[in-house]
Structure 1
């Protein structure tokens, strides 16, 4: 289990994990538009899990700082965590 912070408004989604030196939690981003993310201004590598409206993981990627990624389909949620901090697989369902 991992502590989760929720980014459910414009400002929280805008800032995300930028400028953080390290984290011991996951950031759950509630999306309104699109399914792309970037790691500009990030200081460490993250694992990113894209979830559908049923909270099922359908895409997973590891991103170093200053990268861009667009999911294979529209996501409702994005979970960002420090690289290798949790073990989720495509098809897993989250409960939050």
Structure 2
């Protein structure tokens, strides 16, 4: 179980995890359109989980700093965590409020 912070406004979505030295939480994005992420200006490796409307993981990608990834799966949420923090796999359902 990890603490979740929501990227629930424009500024939080824009900045995301950029410039952070370390985190002890996951950052959740609720998507309105698009399913891509970048790790520009990031200082550590992250795991990115793409979840559908039922909160089931449909794609997962580990990204080093300065990378870009766009999933071909339909996602409603994106959860970013430190690498190996969550250890969940495609097909698992996550529970968050």
TM-score clears 0.5: yes
| Count of aligned pairs | 96
Cα distance in structure 2, aligned partners of 1:13 and 1:45: 18
Q: What is the aligned partner in structure 2 of residue 23 from structure 1?
A: 23
Where has structure 1 moved over 6 Å in runs of 4 or more?
Answer: none
Cα distance in structure 1, aligned partners of 2:83 and 2:64: 9
Q: What is the aligned partner in structure 1 of residue 69 from structure 2?
A: 69
State the TM-score, normalized to the length of structure 2: 0.95
Cα distance in structure 2, aligned partners of 1:9 and 1:31: 11
Q: What is the aligned partner in structure 2 of residue 52 from structure 1?
A: 52
User: Is 1:39 equivalent to 2:39 in the alignment?
Assistant: yes
Following superposition, the deviation at residue 65 of structure 1 comes to: 0.3
Q: Deviations along 1:26-74, whole A, 9 cap, x unmatched?
A: 0011111100110000010000000011110000000000000001222
SS of alignment partner, residue 72 of structure 2: coil
Stretches of structure 1 that go unaligned for 5 or more consecutive residues are: none
Stretches of structure 2 that go unaligned for 5 or more consecutive residues are: none
